[in-house]
Amino acid sequence: MSRLDFLSPYNTVARMKMLATLLLLIFSLHTHAKQSYVRVYNFKSPYGVDWSTPRSLVLSALKNKLGLSLGLTKNKRIIGHNAVEISCFPPNGNEIKKLAGMASLDSTGEALKLLFSQNSGLGVLFHRFKGRLETEDELKGEIEQGLKTGNVNSMTYQTTYKKCQKLLLHLDTWVEKKAYLNYGLNEAPLKYTGAGCSAFAMTFLKDFEIAPKSDYVNWQKTVRINPSLIGPHNRVSYTSSNQNYHPVKKGEGPGILEILLQSQWASPRNKDAVELTFWSPDQAYDWVNARLPEGSTDLRLKN
């Protein structure tokens, strides 16, 4: 190529276009790497939680507890678990990253007492346990180990920094209002009255419109419960971590044997049945696992 060819208007324009394309590509890659996201970790239970019937629910939960007690499994998440990671990238700023989860202080022991001693029956599903907020330090090691053993997978949704700020505000408000002091399946996270581990994590995806409904309906279950199977349980809120457990007096509710005789949930024809919709960590884990690219533990999803 001659000096004149190199300096010709055509070649100058071509080189300018190539340079612009290269700069656009670099900017695109940089923007993608700095994209804010929400990631929910799914911890599966040791042997699964079978919600097919009241009987299978109790038996499968007891099997998970027994397996852990006998040292047959190291998976301590008796009914599964969820935790949430929020990563926000402000414009021209450093990443703001938080990892948290909800847990009870002793939900397994308290639940067993309710079932076997207090005649609570399926009232245990509506019981308000004493809760706490899991920290990044205690979750990080378990997640890393779980990703290696296959007990944990995750799903990640990208979001805008503006929406990510709302997620951080919700988490900060959760801590400020001490909503973490109350743990239970039948709670409303956005009202800051408490939450179970899954409802706490999933509210960041559902209630802030991060995950589409076509995704999150696959992580939920609904059961209809005969009121006669709902025995005494606590609905009084905890307001301090130093409080004693709220007592539940033994009532006229169903004993454990009566629950074990229940081979089906309440019929849709039963107008008095109590409907309970909740999140299932095992179901979320299985849904993600079925869609994971080979060799991956994290599913990247679009909102």
pLDDT digits (tens, 9 = 90+) for 142-188: 999 999 999 999 999 999 999 999 999 999 999 999 999 999 999 99
Rounded to the nearest integer, the mean pLDDT of the chain is 91
Model confidence at 32, in pLDDT bands (50, 70, 90)? Answer: very low
Residues in CB range of 235: below 8 A, 6 or more apart: 126, 128
Give the pairing of strands 274-279 and 129-134.
Answer: unpaired
Domain ranges for the chain, please list them. Answer: 1-33, 34-301
Indicate the pTM of the whole model: 0.87
User: End-to-end alpha-carbon separation of the chain, Å?
Assistant: 50
Instruction: Determine the pLDDT at residue 40.
Output: 98
The 96-104 sheet, strands edge to edge: 182-183, 129-134, 96-104, 81-88, 36-43, 152-159, 298-301
Per-residue pLDDT band at 60 (split at 50, 70, 90): very high
pLDDT tens profile 209-238: 999 999 999 999 999 999 999 999 999 999
The pLDDT tens digits of the residues spanning 242-266 come to 999 998 988 788 999 999 999 999 9
pLDDT: which is higher, 204 or 92: 204
Instruction: Report the alpha-carbon distance of residue 171 to residue 178 in Å, rounded.
Output: 11
Residue 92 has pLDDT above 90, yes or no: no
Contact (CB, 8 A) for 283 and 42 = no
Share of the chain above pLDDT 70, in %: 89
Q: Is the pLDDT of residue 31 over 70?
A: no
Asked whether the predicted pLDDT for residue 270 surpasses 50, the reply is: yes
Residue pair 235/124 in contact (Cβ under 8 Å)? The answer is no
**What per-residue confidence (pLDDT) applies to 133?**
97
pLDDT of amino acid 108 = 77
CA 131 to CA 103: how far, in whole Å?
Answer: 6
Predicted local distance difference test score (pLDDT) of residue 240:
94
Checking if the pLDDT of 3 tops 60, the result is no
The identity of residue 65, as a single letter, is K
